[in-house]
Chain A
Amino acid sequence: MKLLSNYLKEMKIAARGFYFYIEIAMAVILVGILLLVVSETSTSNIKQFIYNDMPQKIAEYLKDKSIEDGDARLANPTEFELKPAEFVITNQETGETTAYDFDDEKIIELETIEMLDSSTGERDETVYYVETEEDMIRLAYSEREVGATVAMDAHGKVSTKYYLQGYETDRLESLLYISHSKSPAVINAKKDRQVVRTLGVMETLNNRENLVPIFLVYLGSLMGYFIVMAYIFYDKAEGVIRAFAVTPSSMWKYLVSKIFVILTTVVVSSSIITIPVMGGQPNYLLFYIFLIITTFALASLGLLVASFFDSISKAFGVMYAIMISLMIPAFSYYIPSFDPLWLRFFPSYPLLQGFKEILLNGDTGYVLTYSFVFLAGGLVLFVLADMRFKKTLTV
């Protein structure tokens, strides 16, 4: 009963503040953005500037063939502004350097072709055909995109000169070299005979759905960590913790009621974000179990941190450092090749992966394992927070 009284009191206070409504409003805005602005398929922004150093008819033929084969589509011409620029280019093989110095400014209109992804039919890359090699080099430099001169000699042999920015890795450069060691026809023929075996038919999250775990973790559970601290410091400023301490009610009930408010807020806001986007696809029982347990764990962490400080400004450094460190695994989420072992020890890593698995109806074992880990960790943190609060009440 005391726990219920505490919880109802906390909800009343939360409902009379703005924060609760900001959370809900934020969730509504985000789901609106997801549904209305973010498309289900990701469209690539890769650009390439090409100068065809070959007879025009052949260049046209090659373009038309790509379009006919369905590998590309013609888009509206695009205007680019060329500004004065000065730079030096280096041939990676010979070391030869060439200096360029352009004083003029001009606007040019380029023929634009969108290369299409073979499986989705969506734009994979945008290719701009430039009339002169100098303009192509200028554009590659100013737009910081790949430029290429595709030349065909009298025997019909094609060679390509790539203009790269300079920060590309050795591996990528090596790949470019060997990708041009055989003719495209030979390479494609061999490619078609490659055997690919998948271990299962795995669902993947589409471009829009892929954002949901990020929102759930960083605007849900992680905010719970931050906001529970704000609630505690607010109560410390009001002095009501001391009033509570001289009642028969235990400190842990006070702390739990705070967490329950956070949980209520997070469950509501997370539902607003997830259900419209994912529909009936995920296992919602598992979803809410994982959400509640992980929010509890992070909120307990927030309680423990708050117990060491008197005010939010004093706690700011530690609070902020923990928040930033919890954000780092987001890189791994978006750049799968960046996946060092040490990153997996950040709590937000299994959070992101766990939500992803739930939304995909994937590895339940992984989700349950980490639910247990977070529950155990959360309980330990909670007990420590309870001990700290009892110890650090001052007159």
Chain B
Amino acid sequence: MISVKNLSHSYNEDGNFAVKNISFEVVNGETFGFLGPSGAGKSTTQGILTGLLKLQDGEVLVAGYDIKKVQNERFNKIGVSFEQSNVYGKLTARENLEYYAKLFDVPTRDPMELIHLVGLDGKENVRASEFSKGMKHRLTFARSMLNNPELWFLDEPTTGLDPAIAATIKDIIREKAAQGTTSFLTTHNMFIADELCDRVAFIIDGEIKLIDAPKSLKLQYGQKLIDIEYIDDGKIVKETLKTVDELERKRIGEIVNNYEIQTMHSKEATLEEIFIQVTGRELVYNETIK
């Protein structure tokens, strides 16, 4: 669905690259995560893939279209949910969706159905300027589904939303994935990437450091840990112990048998920890682990 080869981009064309010679592919039906901190090159990459930024160097195929050629019909297959809500404040929720739907050449979904899907029932006739930030975001998200996109670009889909709304958004993404929609998700939230993505790419300073499935990454780089809090001499003590290490396993048994346990949690390595490890910031990683 997406094929990127040797993609580079410099905003000022002065040799300082926001994205340097990256290559990756996204297969049909996959939810692909692009992970990195702010300024890593995620938005630049997504901008090029969606046509908002002009391709400077490299080969990019999106939904079967070579983006070097201007072919607006490719947008019939694409949906984009922007990080910053960008709806018309003076139009109501329904009017925003109805107008946007008319810009496509393919059959579109019923705006009321989408309004219901994102939990904006009863607000369809309210002007978007009166919406809260979360509501605007949901409307932007709903808009991105109007044309039943085969390829769905999601830019920070849950950032800044309350847990309930974030959960709704995640459910919708999962449902679309199950229906075969290919998603390109950019985020700096590793938990979201972990939950939703089939594969993730770590990008930092414009370069992709690795691409793999979250599970594989955890198996390869992660360490199984247990956090235990217990009472010793009237004081609460916390220890983090590896379950793969024999000595530490014995220590776990010792604590369980001899102390009053307050809390005990198994802890898998998070993508964030793996990211820190993989991208070369080992000192910072080691300090946090210790």
Contacts and interface: CB of A to CB of B under 8 A. Distances in A.
A and B touch in the complex (CB under 8 A): yes
B186 to A, nearest CB: 10
Interface in A225-259: 238-240, 242-250
B102 A5 contact: yes
A127 to B, nearest CB: 61
A186 interface: no
A356 to B, nearest CB: 38
A172 B53 CA distance: 65
B75 A16 contact: no
A13 to B, nearest CB: 5
Given A1-B102, A2-B102, A5-B103, A243 B54 contact: no
Interface in B62-93: 72-76, 78, 80, 82, 84-91
A395 interface: yes
B143 A243 contact: yes
B72 A243 contact: no
Nearest to B128: A238
Nearest to B70: A390
A109 B93 CA distance: 72
Given A9-B91, A12-B95, A395-B47, A248 B103 contact: yes
B46 interface: yes
B52 interface: yes
Given A12-B90, A16-B90, A240-B87, A247 B100 contact: yes
A238 B74 CA distance: 25
Contacts of B82: 239, 242-243
A197 interface: no
Nearest to A235: B88
B134 interface: no
Given A242-B82, A395-B52, A12 B91 contact: yes
B222 interface: no
A17 interface: yes
B8 to A, nearest CB: 16
Contacts of A250: 72
A240 B129 CA distance: 13
Contacts of A17: 90
Given A247-B103, A395-B43, A238 B87 contact: yes
A391 B13 CA distance: 14
Contact of A243 (B78, B91, B100): B100
B86 A239 contact: yes
Given A13-B90, A250-B72, A395-B53, A239 B84 contact: yes
B52 A393 contact: yes
A2 B95 contact: no
A148 B21 CA distance: 88
B24 interface: no
A394 B90 contact: no
Given A13-B88, A243-B143, A395-B52, A249 B44 contact: no
A394 B12 CA distance: 13
A242 B100 CA distance: 12
B113 interface: no
A245 B100 CA distance: 11
A242 B143 CA distance: 13
Contact of B99 (A5, A242, A394): A5
B51 interface: yes
A249 B103 contact: yes
Given A243-B100, A393-B52, A249 B86 contact: no
Given A1-B102, A395-B47, A245 B88 contact: no
Contacts of B140: 243
Contacts of A394: 47, 52-53
Given A9-B88, A9-B99, A238-B88, A246 B51 contact: yes
Given A242-B86, A393-B53, 11 more contacts: A9-B88, A16-B90, A240-B88, A243-B82, A244-B103, A246-B52, A248-B72, A248-B103, A250-B72, A395-B43, A395-B44
29 contacts: A1-B102, A9-B88, A9-B91, A12-B90, A13-B88, A16-B90, A16-B127, A17-B90, A238-B89, A239-B84, A239-B85, A240-B86, A243-B86, A243-B143, A244-B103, A246-B50, A246-B75, A246-B78, A246-B80, A247-B75, A247-B104, A248-B72, A249-B72, A393-B52, A394-B47, A394-B52, A394-B53, A395-B46, A395-B53
Nearest 6 interchain pairs by C-beta? A239-B86, A395-B47, A5-B102, A247-B103, A249-B103, A246-B80
